A = this chain, B = another copy of it.
Amino acid sequence: MSSRLKDVAALAGVSTRTVSNVVSGSAAVAEETRARVQAALDELGYRPNVAARNLRAGRTGLIGLAIPELHSPYFGELAGLIVRAAQQRAWTVVIDQTFGDPEAERRLLDGGDGRLVDGLIISPWALGPEEVTGRSRNVPVVLLGERRPHGLADRVAADNVLAAEEATTHLLEAGHRRIAALGPQPHLHNETARQRLEGYREAFRRAGLTPDPALEQPVRTLHREDGARAMAALLDAGARPDAVFAFTDELALGALHVAHERGLRVPDDVAFVGFDDIEDGRYANPPLTTVAPDKQQIAERALQCLADRIYSPASAVPPLDVVIPHRLVVRASSTRTS
């Protein structure tokens, strides 16, 4: 079915070792021999057997990407960038979805399938920092979006507190005072949501104001559906927000949808700011103001960390804490038209 070095060697009348040399180009091979071997390679359509190579080399050339879910736009976009960046480093990406299941996250951090991957990029949701970093691991790990600089693994994330503060300040400066914070997840160990809430409160504090706790609206998931639910709950409770800072664009879009349904004008009755800068937000009606973390850089820096850990000898280098730049992209959902 498929040809091995042995078959090519037999056809070319040389040893397997010589064929291997031709394939890898590692040792000197006479021009005449090389040509003969190459012809045999082509004729048999030889492809090196990855499993055998991996066994020999102790590396697989695969890296794992563990994210909560692929279908949400933010993770979809991020995964796309990571796969592309990995390709440039001759790595192949295997994707795992954890769906925020703590068991799944644990399993992957513990080494999962046993040296299937040379490294792991994981965006933890359900596991608290202590548990994430407490696990001993066989492969280098890079954490996406985890909070505190801790002792055991590289971390790549935006400054969520600062970014959330900027987003909220933007709304405060536009004169909004009853700004809803849509997205806390007190039931999960979701550090990201916690930080964004912190930034929201910090913005009020700096402005010498105090946010109304009734305007903090928790959500179960980060999907549009829950954004819509949360917005409806806010309005039904008579909270009367004049602006909404949603912790993700998806939540914002769900909430925006409800605002439309209820006949509220955006941004005149309610202004909206989201977080993530997903493609949909750009084409929403009106386009969504959002905090844009540099996803391209997240992908590149995460892979850089992994490469350093995999290829450099001792792990003498202490874990890195890479802060990714972000910027506030102001669009029509938060700037009064009149």
- Is the beta-carbon distance between B60 and A71 smaller than 8 angstroms? no
Complex Cα distance A286/B116, Å?
46
Please tell me how many copies of the chain the complex holds: 2
Complex Cα distance A280/B278, Å?
11
Nearest CB in chain B: distance from A244 CB, A:
15
Nearest CB in chain B: distance from A271 CB, A:
16
Report if A253 contacts B (CB, 8 A): yes
Nearest CB in chain B: distance from A295 CB, A:
9
9-residue interface stretch from A30-38, A87-95, A167-175, A319-327:
A87-95
Q: CB-defined interface of A269-283 with B at 8 Å, one 1/0 digit per residue?
A: 000000000011011
Interface centre among A79, A93, A95 (most CB of B within 10 A): A95
9-residue interface stretch from A13-21, A107-115, A193-201, A205-213:
A107-115
Complex Cα distance A79/B84, Å?
15
Q: For A87, what are the chain B residues with a Cβ–Cβ distance below 8 Å?
A: 96-97
From B50, B71, B95, B254, give the contact of A116 (CB < 8 A): B50
Report if A47 contacts B (CB, 8 A): yes
Interface centre among A50, A51, A279, A282 (most CB of B within 10 A): A51
Report if A24 contacts B (CB, 8 A): no
Q: For A47, what are the chain B residues with a Cβ–Cβ distance below 8 Å?
A: 111, 113-115, 138
Report if A314 contacts B (CB, 8 A): no
Complex Cα distance A49/B59, Å?
11
Secondary structure at the A interface, as helix, strand, loop or mixed, is: mixed
- Is the beta-carbon distance between B285 and A138 smaller than 8 angstroms? no
Q: Given A2-B138, A285-B257: A60 and B70 within 8 A (CB)?
A: no
- Closest chain B residue to A227, Cβ basis: B283
Q: Given A49-B55, A51-B55: A95 and B95 within 8 A (CB)?
A: yes
Report if A188 contacts B (CB, 8 A): no
- Closest chain B residue to A62, Cβ basis: B94
- Is the beta-carbon distance between A51 and B62 smaller than 8 angstroms? no
- Is the beta-carbon distance between B71 and A76 smaller than 8 angstroms? yes
Q: For A25, what are the chain B residues with a Cβ–Cβ distance below 8 Å?
A: none
From B62, B80, B284, give the contact of A70 (CB < 8 A): B80
From B45, B50, B72, give the contact of A115 (CB < 8 A): B50
- Is the beta-carbon distance between A80 and B92 smaller than 8 angstroms? no
- Is the beta-carbon distance between B71 and A97 smaller than 8 angstroms? no
8 closest A-B pairs by beta carbon, nearest first, are A47-B114, A76-B76, A70-B80, A51-B54, A71-B80, A51-B55, A71-B77, A257-B283
Query: A71-B81, A76-B76 provided; 18 other pairs, C-beta below 8 A?
Result: A45-B111, A47-B113, A50-B60, A50-B114, A70-B70, A70-B79, A71-B79, A72-B76, A76-B79, A92-B116, A94-B94, A223-B279, A253-B280, A256-B283, A257-B285, A257-B287, A260-B285, A284-B284
